[in-house]
Every structure is written in structure tokens, then in C-alpha cells.
Amino acid sequence: MSDNLQEFAPSDPLATLPAPGSTRTGRLLRRVTGGPGTPIFDAAVWARRSALKSRRWLRRTQQGAIPAAPQAGEQLRSLSRVRTRAVIDAQATPIDVHLRTAVWLRDLLDAHGIEYFAMPRNSLFLDLGIRAADAERFRDLIADEWDRRAIVYGPYADRIYPAEAPRGGPAPGSFARERAVRLVLATGPQGVDWAWPLDAGVTVHFWVDMDGGVLGAPIRNRYATYLLQSTRASVAELDFHGETFRSLSDLVIPHVDDIDFPVDLVYTWVDGRDPVWRERMLHKREEVLGKVTANAIADARFQDLQELRYSLRSVHAFAPWVNRVWIVTDGQTPSWFDPSDDRVTIIDHRDIWDDPDKLPVFNSHAIEARLHHIPGLAEHYIYFNDDMMFARPVQATDFFAPGGLMKIFPSPHQVGLGGRTLHEGAAQTAAKNDREVLLAATGTVQTQRLKHASYPQRKSVALELEERFPEYYARTTGATFRSATDISCISLQSWYAFRTGRAASSSISFRYIDLMTEDDLREMEVLRKQRNAAIMCLNQSENSEVDPLMVQEKLHDFLDDYLPVPSPYEATP
């Protein structure tokens, strides 16, 4: 970055951005309804926006070209209700979709001499900027491409709504009226009617020429409302997911919002059908019958329906930034697992236990109390149960702040005041025990539970707590099955970090479905269509009212549809 105090800059830095409420309709709405914040105004704005979206969608779909007959290897598919020629790529993830689109646009612009620059939208996706003066020429290029080539589909969306990009051929003059347009070359799930967010597309911004060689932003973006001539002249290369794009020097510098430290992912997993493991478990269970709750030793607690397989698929599809994955088990390896990729490592309980004589254990609280002792584990990691999955593209910043703070996700459910009671669940009892430790550590009372979603963690926080309260950790790790004296270390570490300035309260879109009733199965179908959560957890309850075989069938049908692309960590059948 260099200073030039003589360089021209616009007096109004927002001159080219759309001004909310500046239209005649907007001024009338303010006067009649009382302005923003009033229910009538907000309802009117929502109705107007919906009408405009519908109008744009109808215009573009009605003016789409009729595709030529499909050639060898192609199919006719529906894209925003316009029939187009498609090639099915069953292995495409959203990142593949995005990168393929970006490379196609890059090569198209380079081939026809249209100057562009790439700007990261975030750590997962990028957008492109061109001059508004080139928008009509760009539109013609896209129209020609759309007429002569087939669209490449992956398995993650069949129809894209709203139609923000030209489908089956752009409407005449449409780009001239747009400030930016998002294009999707490779989209995806084939045969499924649902709306994939347009994140996977590349938005092309049409920057407006201003005086002094300045370009004004057409819409809000991550970087600037205008670009100085000197900024535009300082060209650099941007390396993005292994591809190189033309960019500007100021845009290739790491952004203050970016996370530059590794983030690992840790699973706990067990296969309750393994006869060797089951023999050990039943032997230990006989020793504790009548001493622990039925919930602590229920078979459902150790059931495996291959959720881990699909969870790893979700990492591959939606969280490519994950550094390493650790699967903590009791001498087991999933039958479908391919160990050739060293990004995923199986960790045996013996690898992390300080006293092997206490093994085996069948207590998730005990196992969670030793996770921070995984050899080679990063300082920042996310803890997942094996039935938790990413449900759409997520970023590391959804779980950690760029400075390293953990993000915790408080639940509306409360722990309850007072001591432990006879019939409460093991999780509730552990939460009350956590409160006892937290009170001793910080002098504060914790009343909320955490959402049963992902749990961002820091190794240094766990080590510090274990050093301060060794008796609680030792008592928990020494309990073979869940016990009334357990602490839930994952939750305790989260709240302790929150109170000591190493975590912040946050939120994340999350769906928890306990597959107990027919209504729960229907809720899973709703999630299949909406796909509006960042994290989902599909829990198997020991109190299910539905036939277990039916639950298993419905679950696998759902997961095969939602996460169809195998990960690199699956052995080829």
C-alpha cells in the first residue's frame, strides 16, 4: 500500500451504492407507515421485495432459450424451470462447483480481453469484478456460452432459486439493469427438488467508472466502496484452492477476518455390534448393575448406524479448511474406513489415558476428559459426536474468532438450581457438577446448557482446568460407565473459557432431531427439503416409539440423499 495525497478520490464514497429508501416508493412508504421499525413498514418492504424477486424470476425463466437435443453423456435437466443440457458429475462438492465456475469465468474473460480482478468473498468462495462498461459485452459472451455448452451438475442441487443468473440464455439487456450477477456453472442433488443456496456461485460485480479513474462499488462487498486508480494499477496473483486468479495487491493480503491457525476436528466413536468390544462391555456392565442409571448402560448409547461415515462426508463437502481429523475409539476401526489419507487418524483410548489400568471405559464423559491429550492435536479443535454433521458450507470463523477465541452456543435449556436429584438424566447431573467446579474456579454460577451441536475447544484451557481440579478429572476418567460424580469436561471447558476471556457467546443455525416418533421422522424430511442448518445432529434415542429398523432405513435414505459424495476417507467398495 502506498500513499498518494494528490490522487483523486470521490467526495461521496457511497455514490455508486444503492441508497435504501431513496426511491419515490421508499419515500412514500416512510411517510404512510411511519418508517423503518414499524410493523407496517417492515411488512410492506417484505412484500415489495418478494414481488420484485418473483418478477425477475418470471422474466428470466420465460425468456430462457430452448436447449438443443442432448448429446452423448448429457441429460435434459431443469434449472430454475428452464430445461438445459446437463452432464452429471456425481463427485462434485460445493467447493468443486464454485472453483469450476470461477475458472470457467476467468478463462472466458482472459480469452476475450475483458479486464477483471478476483476478490475473496470469504475463506471458501471468491467473486470477480469487471467494469460496468464491459457488462453488456460480458452478457453476450455468457449468452453464447450458454447456448453451446452443457451445464455440469453435481449431487448437491437440482434447481436453484431465486434465479439470479442467466439460465438457458440470459434475458436481452438483463445485465445492463444489474449491479452484479451470480453465475453457477456446476450445480447440483440430481432428481431432488430443493433450493441450494447460491454460495457456490461466483458473483460478478459491475464496478462503475467515476472521475479520476476511480471505480465505484455497485453493491456492498468485503473490501471497499471504491477503488483508487493506484489501487487498480497494483496487480497481484491470488492463489485460491490451487488455482491462480488475477487480483489486486490489497486483495491478496490476509484479511483481518481470516483465521490463520489450524483447526482440528475430534470425534468419539464406538461400534456396539463388535463382538470383542461387546464382550468386554457386558462383563463390566454386570459389575455395575444396580449402581448406575439404566440410561448409562443402555445399548442405544453404543449403537452405530454409520453416522460417522456421513459426518466425514460433510467435512469433505462443507468444511475443507479442517486441518486434521481424529477419531477416538476403543481398539476399533470402521469397516468402511480408508487409512491411506493421513489427515484422518484413529486414536485408541490407550493413546490418551494416563492410567491404562482404568481401561476399558464405556463412559463418554470419561473419554471427553482425555481428548486434549491426543498426541499432535492442534491448540484449536472442534469436538463432534459421531451423529453430528455439517449441513452446508461453513467457515472456521463460525467456531473461532480470528484472534483465537472459542465460540460457544448456549442453549435455552437450563440446568436448574439446587443439587443433584434422583431421577434426572446423567447429562443434567454432570452439568450440576460442572457448576460446582465453575463456582470454585470463577465464583460464578452457570445456569444454561450448551446446544448439542459442535463444541469449539482449546487445548490450553482443558490442560489448565485439569491442572487446577485434578480430582474431578480423575474421578470422571475412573468411572467405567456414566456416574453421578462425572463432570462434562467439554461443557465445563467452554464455560470456563467464556468466563476467563477465551470464549464468546455466539449462535449457529442448528437442527437437533431425536429420532423417537413419527413426527421426528417427518422433521427429518423437512430438513431434507429446507437444508437451512449449518450443523445437524440426528440422535438415536433408547426410548424410540418407532420400529428401529424403520428408523435405520429412513436415516440412511436421508443421509444418502443429503450427503451423497463419498469422502477420500472411505474405502472403495
* Span 491-510, pLDDT tens digits: 999 999 999 999 999 999 99
- The CB density around residue 419, as the number of other CB atoms within 10 Å, is 10
Contact between 204 and 127 under an 8 Å Cβ cutoff? The reply is: yes
- Residues 186 and 74 reside in one and the same domain: yes
When pLDDT is averaged across residues 550-555 and rounded to a whole number, the result is 86
% of the chain exceeding 70 in pLDDT: 73
> pLDDT at position 470, please?
95
Report yes or no on 5 lying in a domain. no
pLDDT digits (tens, 9 = 90+) for 433-476: 899 999 999 999 988 889 988 999 999 999 999 999 999 999 99
> pLDDT at position 115, please?
95
- Residues 175 and 267 reside in one and the same domain: no
- pLDDT at position 90 over 90: no
Identity at 507, one-letter amino acid code: S
For the record, the C-alpha cell of 415 comes out as 440446568
- Residues 241 and 141 reside in one and the same domain: yes
Report yes or no on 572 lying in a domain. no
> pLDDT at position 32, please?
66
- Residues 399 and 300 reside in one and the same domain: yes
Domain final residue, candidates 203, 230, 252: 252
Terminal Cα-to-Cα distance of the chain (whole angstroms): 53
Q: Helix or strand or coil: residue 562? A: helix
- Residues 247 and 276 reside in one and the same domain: no
Domain final residue, candidates 194, 220, 252: 252
- pLDDT at position 176 over 70: no
Domain final residue, candidates 222, 252, 282: 252
Return the beta strands (E) in 454-562 as ranges.
455-458, 503-505, 510-514, 535-539
Query: Which one-letter DSSP state was computed for residue 477?
Result: H
- Residues 279 and 318 reside in one and the same domain: yes
pLDDT digits (tens, 9 = 90+) for 200-209: 778 889 999 9
User: Which CATH number goes with the domain that contains 401?
Assistant: 3.90.550.10
Report yes or no on 9 lying in a domain. no
Query: Which one-letter DSSP state was computed for residue 380?
Result: E
> pLDDT at position 396, please?
96
pLDDT digits (tens, 9 = 90+) for 244-257: 999 999 999 999 99
Which residues share a beta bridge with 159?
195
When pLDDT is averaged across residues 368-386 and rounded to a whole number, the result is 96
- pLDDT at position 349 over 80: yes
> pLDDT at position 525, please?
87
C-alpha to C-alpha distance for 102 and 99, rounded to whole angstroms: 5
* Structural domains of the chain, count: 2
For the record, the C-alpha cell of 10 comes out as 470521490
Question: Of 116, 140, 136, which Cα lies nearest the Cα of 203?
Answer: 116
- Residues 445 and 299 reside in one and the same domain: yes
Report yes or no on 399 lying in a domain. yes
Q: Name the average pLDDT for the chain.
A: 80
> pLDDT at position 169, please?
39
- Residues 130 and 211 reside in one and the same domain: yes
The domain in which residue 69 lies consists of 24-252
> Which spans in 234-340 are helix H?
249-252, 275-288, 294-297, 307-318
- Residues 82 and 147 reside in one and the same domain: yes
pLDDT classification of 167: cutoffs 50, 70, 90: very low
Report yes or no on 199 lying in a domain. yes
Report yes or no on 476 lying in a domain. yes
- Residues 446 and 513 reside in one and the same domain: yes
Report yes or no on 452 lying in a domain. yes
- Residues 537 and 467 reside in one and the same domain: yes
Which residues share a beta bridge with 450?
410
Report yes or no on 75 lying in a domain. yes
- pLDDT at position 234 over 90: yes
Comparing 200 with 332, which gets the higher pLDDT?
332
- pLDDT at position 296 over 60: no
pLDDT digits (tens, 9 = 90+) for 112-152: 999 999 999 998 999 999 999 998 888 788 777 665 655 55
Q: ∠411-413-417 over CA atoms, to 5°?
A: 125
C-alpha to C-alpha distance for 136 and 134, rounded to whole angstroms: 6
- Residues 334 and 423 reside in one and the same domain: yes
